[in-house]
């Protein structure tokens, strides 16, 4: 597929843009949004005469706001320090308490931003239950919002939230972020799949036995216990991040790279997926910080192939990866050798490698597992991988919806997960399985994945080298 096919070359940055960061006093803004905006600024990807306005309920003097903006931005050189000061000079902050926002008094972003300079505004925030009032405010100035997940808590709340936005916002004015769609390796899935003919020939139920999409973090809720009590790992990671990855893996070839053609194919995947069944799920820890579940796609390409989605906190390592396990050699002299696997490491240490069987050098015909390896830090050592939010904010500024979630896509994703969420809420007697902090998860995990066809083979201690071409010392693969 031609890399330029279907791309709207008319997309361009608009001068005199104003960006409003709603929830500017929160962690998301401090850790992600402002560092991403600075990354775009220092690489000259922001429009001319840009203005950035932080908005939140927290009363805060300007100096304190600038201190927060700088807190997660590293400036190892004098030039970067100078650029950061220049960046901070275009940032301002306004605040409002629930009382004065309710009365529509001063400190409203719409009041601050009216005028000939304010042509477009993109808003980034993360608290869905508090988004409506600020959106109504900026709607007065007719600006386009960029909405961070989670968008609702289930199918009904998502639909209600969407309906409440309809009076002020058209669908093509909304940019619903799932930041995984901005990650370099996730964006590479379409190229790997449709730009390499040999993958296309085997990308189906005749050759693939199972697909695992894994999210692991080595720390717990880290001050977000209240959030996790309400949302849990399923809403936080699986219904959005991992499901988005699944749609890109499973979709048919779009007729072009245009945003609607891509999103049409993703929606077709979701509509072919039945709701997650509780029997295909295990939950872990004292609150839902771990979940492994299995989804199926009822179409000609994927019918019968289990998509195993695992997500957990307080585990043994940090990684997000896709592991596609091909079927066994069915007969003959090599029927007992390990399966081939295609692994896409999304983070950290972005890479793509294929586990393959080869002859061990020597006089025997002994086989050994090795890999065809594309590790980004070695192959693209002179290129910087942008942060996901940098990529998505830039897409939003250009008006490119390709990597954002459409309304019918959101609706279809909640339809898949809501019955499971309701089942877990209604059956309080279900006790999550405890697992030790720093482990791989509940003790039954290996048996669970094996029951859906996954075969782990240590292959005589095979390990994938995670950082260099030196003798491998990285983590054992496959789990």
Read off the pLDDT of residues 200-259 as tens digits, 9 standing for 90 and up.
889 999 999 999 999 999 987 765 555 556 668 898 899 999 999 999 999 999 999 889
Across 13-17, 81-85, 328-332, 378-382, the highest mean pLDDT is recorded for 81-85
Identify the pLDDT of residue 454: 95
> The domain spanning residue 31 has which CATH number?
3.40.50.720
SS (H, E, C) 23-86: CCCCHHHHHHHHHHHHHHHHCCCCCCCCEEEEEECCCCCHHHHHHHHHCCCCCCCHHHHHHHHH
The answer to whether residues 362 and 315 belong to one domain is yes
With a cut of 60, say whether residue 429 has pLDDT above it.
Answer: yes
Q: Which residues, 6 or more positions from 425, have their beta carbon under 8 angstroms from its beta carbon?
A: none
The answer to whether residues 226 and 132 belong to one domain is no
Q: Quick check: is 4 in a domain?
A: no
- Reported as a single tens digit per residue, the pLDDT across 284-295 is 885 678 999 999
Q: Quick check: is 319 in a domain?
A: yes
Confidence bin at 146 (pLDDT 50/70/90): low
Question: Cα torsion at 311, 314, 315, 316 (round to 10°)?
Answer: 150
Which H helix or E strand runs over 225? helix 225-230
The answer to whether residues 218 and 93 belong to one domain is no
Better-predicted residue by pLDDT, 350 or 99: 350
The answer to whether residues 136 and 185 belong to one domain is no
Per the CB < 8 A criterion, the answer to whether 177 and 146 are in contact is yes
Per the CB < 8 A criterion, the answer to whether 239 and 413 are in contact is yes
With a cut of 60, say whether residue 80 has pLDDT above it.
Answer: yes
Q: Which residues, 6 or more positions from 231, have their beta carbon under 8 angstroms from its beta carbon?
A: 150, 153
Q: Mean pLDDT score of the chain, rounded to an integer?
A: 82
Q: Quick check: is 195 in a domain?
A: yes
Percentage of the chain exceeding pLDDT 90 = 42
Query: 115, 111, 125: which is closest to 49 by C-alpha?
Result: 115
Confidence bin at 466 (pLDDT 50/70/90): low
With a cut of 70, say whether residue 9 has pLDDT above it.
Answer: no
Confidence bin at 111 (pLDDT 50/70/90): very low
Identify the pLDDT of residue 202: 92
Is residue 179 part of the annotated active site? The answer reads no
Say how far apart CA 8 and CA 280 lie, in whole Å. Answer: 42
Sign of torsion, CA 239 241 242 246?
Answer: positive
Identify the pLDDT of residue 161: 85
**Of the given ranges (149-158, 261-270, 372-381), which has the lowest mean pLDDT?**
149-158
Question: Cα torsion at 260, 420, 216, 237 (round to 10°)?
Answer: 40
Instruction: Name the β-bridge partners of 19.
Output: 52
With a cut of 80, say whether residue 86 has pLDDT above it.
Answer: yes
What's the structural domain count of the chain? 2
The answer to whether residues 261 and 322 belong to one domain is yes
Identify the pLDDT of residue 322: 97
Confidence bin at 118 (pLDDT 50/70/90): very low
Beta strands in 135-206 (DSSP E): 146-148, 175-177
Q: Quick check: is 9 in a domain?
A: no
Q: Is 88 helix (H, G, I), strand (E, B) or coil?
A: helix
- Which of the residues 122, 179, 241, 401 is marked catalytic? 241
**Of the given ranges (43-52, 88-97, 101-110, 205-214), which has the lowest mean pLDDT?**
101-110
Instruction: Name the β-bridge partners of 357.
Output: 369
**Of the given ranges (240-244, 252-256, 393-397, 414-418), which has the lowest mean pLDDT?**
393-397
Q: Where among 124, 148, 172 does a domain terminate?
A: 148
Q: Where among 93, 126, 148 does a domain terminate?
A: 148
Identify the pLDDT of residue 417: 95
With a cut of 60, say whether residue 452 has pLDDT above it.
Answer: yes
Q: Quick check: is 332 in a domain?
A: yes
Q: Is 368 helix (H, G, I), strand (E, B) or coil?
A: strand
Distances (CA, A) of 263 to 80, 173, 349, 409: 38, 16, 28, 8
Better-predicted residue by pLDDT, 323 or 377: 323
The answer to whether residues 88 and 134 belong to one domain is yes
Better-predicted residue by pLDDT, 149 or 115: 149
The answer to whether residues 334 and 210 belong to one domain is yes
Confidence bin at 408 (pLDDT 50/70/90): very high
Arithmetic mean of pLDDT, 352-364: 89
Q: Quick check: is 310 in a domain?
A: yes
> The domain spanning residue 335 has which CATH number?
3.30.360.10
The answer to whether residues 79 and 136 belong to one domain is yes
Identify the pLDDT of residue 223: 57
Per the CB < 8 A criterion, the answer to whether 384 and 45 are in contact is no
Q: Quick check: is 170 in a domain?
A: no
The answer to whether residues 76 and 140 belong to one domain is yes
The answer to whether residues 86 and 190 belong to one domain is no
Any idea what DSSP says for residue 237? I
Confidence bin at 471 (pLDDT 50/70/90): very low
Q: Where among 132, 148, 164 does a domain terminate?
A: 148
Q: Quick check: is 294 in a domain?
A: yes
Identify the pLDDT of residue 274: 97
Arithmetic mean of pLDDT, 176-188: 90
The answer to whether residues 101 and 202 belong to one domain is no
Q: Is 315 helix (H, G, I), strand (E, B) or coil?
A: strand
The answer to whether residues 322 and 240 belong to one domain is yes
Q: Residue 252's domain spans which residues?
A: 181-385+407-450
């Amino acid at each position: 597929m031609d890399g330029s096919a279907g791309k709207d070359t008319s997309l361009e940055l608009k001068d005199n843009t104003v960006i409003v960061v709603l929830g500017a006093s929160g962690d998301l803004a401090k850790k992600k949004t402002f560092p991403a905006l600075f990354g775009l600024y220092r690489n000259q990807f922001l429009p001319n005469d840009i203005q950035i306005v932080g908005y939140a309920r927290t009363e805060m003097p300007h100096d304190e706001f600038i201190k927060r903006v700088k807190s997660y931005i590293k400036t190892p050189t004098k030039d970067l320090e100078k650029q950061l000061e220049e960046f901070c000079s275009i940032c301002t902050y306004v605040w409002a308490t629930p009382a004065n926002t309710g009365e529509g008094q001063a400190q409203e972003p719409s009041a601050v931003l009216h005028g000939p300079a304010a042509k477009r505004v993109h808003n980034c925030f993360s608290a869905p239950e508090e988004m409506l009032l600020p959106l109504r405010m900026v709607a007065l100035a007719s600006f386009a919002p960029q909405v961070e997940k989670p968008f609702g808590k289930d199918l009904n709340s998502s639909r209600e939230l969407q309906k409440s936005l309809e009076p002020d916002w058209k669908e093509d004015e909304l940019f619903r972020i799932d930041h995984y769609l901005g990650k370099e390796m996730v964006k590479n899935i379409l190229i790997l799949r449709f730009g390499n003919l040999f993958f296309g020939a085997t990308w189906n139920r005749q050759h693939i036995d199972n697909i695992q999409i894994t999210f692991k973090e080595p720390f717990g809720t880290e001050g977000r216990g209240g959030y996790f009590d309400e949302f849990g790992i399923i809403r936080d990671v699986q219904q959005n991040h991992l499901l988005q990855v699944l749609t890109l893996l499973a979709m048919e070839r779009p007729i072009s790279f245009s945003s609607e053609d891509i999103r049409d194919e993703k929606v077709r995947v979701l509509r072919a997926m039945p709701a997650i069944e509780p029997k295909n799920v295990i939950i872990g820890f004292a609150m839902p910080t771990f979940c492994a579940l299995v989804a199926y796609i009822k179409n000609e390409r994927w019918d019968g192939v289990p998509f195993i989605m695992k997500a957990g906190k307080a585990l043994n390592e940090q990684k997000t990866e896709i592991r596609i396990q091909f079927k066994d050699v069915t007969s003959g002299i090599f029927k007992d050798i390990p399966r081939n696997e295609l692994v896409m490491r999304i983070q950290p240490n972005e890479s793509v490698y294929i586990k393959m069987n080869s002859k061990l050098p020597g006089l025997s015909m002994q086989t050994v597992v090795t890999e065809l390896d594309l590790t980004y830090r070695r192959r693209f050592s002179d290129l910087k991988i942008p942060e996901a939010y940098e990529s998505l904010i830039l897409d939003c500024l250009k008006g490119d919806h390709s990597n954002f979630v459409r309304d019918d896509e959101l609706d279809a994703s909640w339809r898949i997960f809501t019955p499971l969420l309701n089942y877990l809420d209604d059956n309080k007697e279900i006790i999550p399985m405890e697992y030790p902090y720093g482990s791989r998860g509940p003790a039954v995990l290996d048996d669970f994945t094996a029951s859906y066809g996954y075969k782990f083979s240590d292959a005589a201690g095979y390990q994938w080298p995670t950082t260099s071409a030196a003798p491998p010392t990285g983590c054992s693969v496959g789990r």
